[in-house]
Chains A and B, each alone.
Chain A
Amino acid sequence: MNLTLKIWRQNGPADRGRMVTYRVEDVSPDMSFLEMLDVLNERLILEGDDPVAFDHDCREGICGMCGMVINGVAHGEQRATTTCQLHMRHFEDGAVVTIEPWRAAPFPVVKDLVVDRSSFDRIIQAGGFISVPAGSAPDAHAIPVPKDDADAAFDAATCIGCGACVAACPNGSASLFTAAKITHLSLLPQGQPERASRAKAMVEQMDAEGFGGCTNTGECTAVCPKGIPLDTIARMNAEFLKASSK
């Protein structure tokens, strides 16, 4: 199949950037979206052009490194799928595909489709952990954890930190990402001692990074490749209110 790509090109943080149109031919429907871009890049290199920069690593939907807004949808229209797991069979021959980076002030563009997501790391630094020095842990069976709690904690813990939730949110909010970690840790007995301070510190850091506030539009869960549910945000709100009223 043949496609027309409109790709955001930006040479560096200071560059203004623009959309550039490329044609790619003989795309196999079995290719992944990134493999299609690989093919384009190989051609650009040989033609003496600058290949399109994009982040990726595992290419199996787990590292959270990849991510682009494809035709206006973060990670593309297929649900519960990272960009690297998206395959060309979901596109039609002759289609025009727009490809843009995550757009949010706390995710400044590094180059082309590559953005800087270190703001996410700083949100985790603010409290997304349980303080336990190596070697000081009690036996793993010392505290049983009800299976339902463990399962719910796991569901929230599967967030891959890709940032699609921010990219899709009309407010540029990082609530789903932050809530996933707060939920994961607040559901486990091990997470209790730091529960209140964690919620407060992480929410405050999220604000300090310049993310928008949540208005419960639900766009985040809809694009989240791991299907992190909206009730994590309710839980974060409850945790934050409780922590703030202390």
Chain B
Amino acid sequence: MATAPTLPHAAHKGGFYASSNGKKALMAVTGAVLVLFLVGHMLGNLKIFLGAGSFNHYAEWLRTVGSPALPNRTLLTIAEIVLALAVVLHMWSAVSLARRAAKARPVKYAAKRKSQAGGYATHTMRYGGVIILLFVIWHLLDLTFGVVNPKGGDATPYDRVVAGFDPSRWWVTVFYLVAMVMVGLHLRHGLWSALQTLGLAHRYAALKAGSAVIATVLVLGFVAVPIAVMIGAVK
């Protein structure tokens, strides 16, 4: 087959985010933003063990931080916008990369492709991501807007948490736990993967172990709260 003198497929000039590497970088950066959020969120959640006052005060502080220099909720709103944007961009990259991948392998293997590298990342990231997304939606409706919360939007945050994870609503707790495990699995790969994507990875064994540890700590931190409510340690 003759190769034409000029490149037959002219390299696309769609810019950074049109390239698969650009999308991956976007995914890593937005993922990192979300991880930072998760760390903060988890630390805040744990205040629930210091009592209702401390927890409600923290929730209040979130709304008033920056005032009086800035109107109430300014920083919180900015944070929410950043987070929403991060989630959207993260998903956009995930979806376009998945579509790219599907196009790159139009004919599947007849033999079950045996993973030689554990197969972990392939299976958990995309499906896991969808579960996380469903959870986030529910979670917002439940605890932020209180739409599906038994106590409704007007109750104090503490009360909403306690009511939300009431043993009678065990399925909410189960969903939460499952979602948190998915987050853990997502991050176990996602953390070192983000470093790899940004070109910062080497010494993989240590890096992967570190990712697993951080992911575990986050999961434990998050599930501590609903479990505490379930068993009545927090009421």
Contacts and interface: CB of A to CB of B under 8 A. Distances in A.
A214 to B, nearest CB: 7
A218 interface: yes
Nearest to B114: A72
Contacts of B202: 231, 234
B1 A122 contact: no
Interface stretch (B4-12, B55-63, B160-168, B221-229): B4-12
Interface residues of A, number: 59
B104 A104 contact: yes
B116 A105 contact: no
B23 A213 contact: yes
A171 B104 contact: yes
Interface in B81-123: 97, 100-101, 103-122
A16 B115 CA distance: 26
A172 interface: yes
Nearest to B192: A216
B196 interface: yes
Interface centre among A69, A168, A170 (most CB of B within 10 A): A170
Interface stretch (A53-61, A81-89, A238-246): A238-246
Contacts of A215: 24, 97, 101, 121-122, 125, 193
A237 B197 contact: yes
Contacts of A2: none
B189 interface: yes
Contacts of B24: 213-215, 237
A57 B169 CA distance: 66
B201 interface: yes
A106 B7 contact: no
B20 interface: yes
B25 interface: yes
A222 interface: yes
Given A215-B193, A234-B200, A208 B105 contact: no
A239 B197 CA distance: 11
Interface in A190-246: 201, 203-219, 221-223, 230-231, 233-242, 244
Contacts of A188: none
A216 B201 CA distance: 11
B198 interface: yes
Interface of B: 1, 3, 7-12, 16, 18-25, 97, 100-101, 103-122, 125, 189, 192-193, 195-202, 204
15 contacts: A105-B106, A210-B9, A212-B100, A215-B97, A215-B121, A216-B189, A216-B193, A218-B118, A219-B116, A219-B122, A222-B116, A230-B196, A231-B202, A240-B21, A244-B22
Interface of A: 6, 8, 19, 69, 71-73, 77, 98, 100, 103-106, 116, 118, 121-122, 125-126, 168, 170-173, 201, 203-219, 221-223, 230-231, 233-242, 244
Smallest CB-CB A-B distances: 3 pairs: A238-B199, A172-B104, A213-B20
